[in-house]
Structure 1
Amino acid sequence: MKNRTLLFLMTEDTADAEVHQMAEYAVSENAHLVCFLLSRIPTQPMNAHGAFPYGGYEISDHWVEEVNSARDRLKVRQDALEALLQYEGVSAEVQFVLSSQPDVRVVVARRALVCDVAIASKSLRVAEDGLFRPALYGVLFDAPVGLMLNATPIANPKRIFVAWDTELPAARAIHAALPLLKQADEVIVGSFDPVAQEYEDGENPGSDLAKWLSHHGCKVTVNQYPSGGEIIGAAIQRRAAEIGADLVVMGAYGKSRLRELVFGGTTHHMIIQTETPVFMAH
């Protein structure tokens, strides 16, 4: 990912070792690293009591102190990260956001508008403040870039498995991941339960994608897999592991997001799993 801007979504608890790995990768790729430190603002207490209509609204002094304390803590962490990155000699910046849960999606999306790819840290996934999903949705639904999960320590993948279904989200993911695909030694295009008809998945599903990628210099092979009743997300993981893929590229939320959350689905499965590095876009 030469000369690109990497948006690293992190929390206060992101280990220095993980930041160090991102910095090393950015240096090796002549990339600019943006460490975007996300934190949830303390909940504002609400008191209801007898009062005149349209009366004044009182903000708790204790809550203001909590917010100021959180902001000071983030500033200390920001300074420490800036010192670490300066020592690494990487082109980088550190920004922090103290925000409510719903607003995280907005601020992440806005920052991602002028980046090339977003990478979620391990700590963002396990944080108990509920910011993981809003941050992901900000990238996937409101920004023109791809999102990488389970990808730290980051490295240029040598063998990439592309989960292809002739849908727009998958095509967008492949376009966004093209710099990685062009650098890979091998790209395997896999279709699961394809309908081999001209107006469905094509007479030879995946061959048109392979031809296009080959024009970009990619070494591509195409496989069609029967799922055998296995959920597609698990099938993707299994096939990727069998071929020794370093990364899975796939479209996200080809179906309704609500439907996936309630009934499960390929995207939901690939988001909650923690073993397989994945690059996705919507």
Structure 2
Amino acid sequence: MTYKTILAILQSEADAGRVLDLALPLASRHDSHVIGLHAEALPMVIASPMGGPVVDFSVDMQEETSRRHTVIRALFEERARIEGVANEWRGFDSVSGDSAVSGIESARSADLVVAQQTDPDASSGMIANIEALLFETGRPLLLVPYVRKERAASFKKIILAWNGSKQATRAAFDALPFMKEAESVEVLCVDPQDTPRRDAEMAGTAIAAALARHDIEVTIKIENSGGVAHGEVIDNRIADTGADLLVMGAFGRSRLKEFVFGGATRTLLQSMTIPTLLSH
């Protein structure tokens, strides 16, 4: 199993370099086809709130959106040429200008989607709707931290946050290509509970055995949170082990037809220090 089609969500000039630093070397290693995708907001004609004349900003806005399309496309195509990977460009103009929303249909026919973690200091127009990519595509999402500087796209130490859920199961098998390349994979279970079919101390053994059959070096770690939030426990384990990829199921709940992240997922996405593969 490899990632043969990779979708790179390029929301802005600020995040494009980080996303390509991860997506393109990965594509080169897996002989993948990479789709670079960027969206811009459609120009708007705005009426004065004081009842004055309509102000048409469309010309200036169109020039700026065209400039960004050109700059980001040129960056993508040049970087893809240097890496020697098959590629294509998809540019969109939409009401929202959100590359993630515009990329939903493209993501559904990709093996892997790569995007940047939300930067809380970015302007609203530069933030992609990560929830849409996770909850509406059915595809794994590899998030790059907005503080990431290194370019390496291979991962030596991987932590699989495991709770036996369908989301964690999907994430584990979606991450198989990364795990098969890694030196080690740790199955991390936080506060496992006894079930009718399994004692708590046996948590993670079945998935570890399944991964080991793929010739993956697997260990199991059981952590008791002691009342600390599970997201913090996972963060601490990442720091202790020097892991360079986190794999986990993405949990959320629907509210008025919009998904919002559950507690552990939200904590990890806010504090992310390493690339994180999420599946829902």
User: Structure 2 length normalisation: TM-score?
Assistant: 0.81
What is aligned with 2:29?
Answer: 28
Match in the other structure for 1:12: 12
1:163 aligns with 2:158: no
Structure (1 or 2) with the larger CA radius of gyration: 1
The CA distance in 2 between the partners of 1:148 and 1:201, in whole Å, is 32
In structure 2, relative to structure 1, the CA distance for the partners of 1:106 and 1:16 (3 Å cut) is closer
In structure 1, the residue matched to 2:134 is 140
CA deviations on 1:205-258 (whole Å, 9 max, x unpaired) are 1111111112222121112110111111111011122122111100111x4265
1:142 is aligned with what amino acid? E
Aligned partners of 2:97 and 2:21: how far apart in 1? 30
Which residue does 1:150 correspond to in 2? 144
How far did 1:163 drift? 0.5
Give the equivalent residue in structure 2 for 1:56: none
Contact 2:3 2:111 in 1 (8 A): no
Post-superposition Cα deviations, 1:33-56, rounded to whole Å, max 9, x if no partner, equal: 222123344555256899xxxxxx
Gaps of 5+ in 2: none
Distance 1:276 1:15 in 2: 15
1-structure distance, mates of 2:12, 2:66: 12
Distance 1:22 1:176, change over 3 A: closer
Aligned residue number for residue 65 of structure 1: 59
Name the counterpart of 2:238: 240
Residue 112 of structure 1 aligns to which amino acid in structure 2?
A: A
The count of corresponding residues between Structure 1 and Structure 2 is: 271
Q: How far is the alpha carbon of 1:148 from its aligned partner?
A: 1.4
- Give the strand-richer structure, 1 or 2: 2
- Distance in 1 separating the partners of 2:82 and 2:100: 31
Q: 1:46 to 1:168 in 2, by over 3 A?
A: farther
1:160-215 superposed Cα distances (whole Å, 9 cap, x missing partner): 11101111111111121111112222111011111022357766111111111122
2:226 and 2:59 map into 1 onto residues whose CA distance is: 58
- Equivalent residue of 2:46, what SS? coil
Hey, what does 1:213 align to over in structure 2? 211
5+ residue gaps in structure 1? 51-59
Deviation string, structure 1 residues 82-140 (Cα, Å, up to 9, x no partner): 24433443212222223233865542211101111111136877541356352x12221
Give the RMSD, CA atoms, in angstroms: 3.3
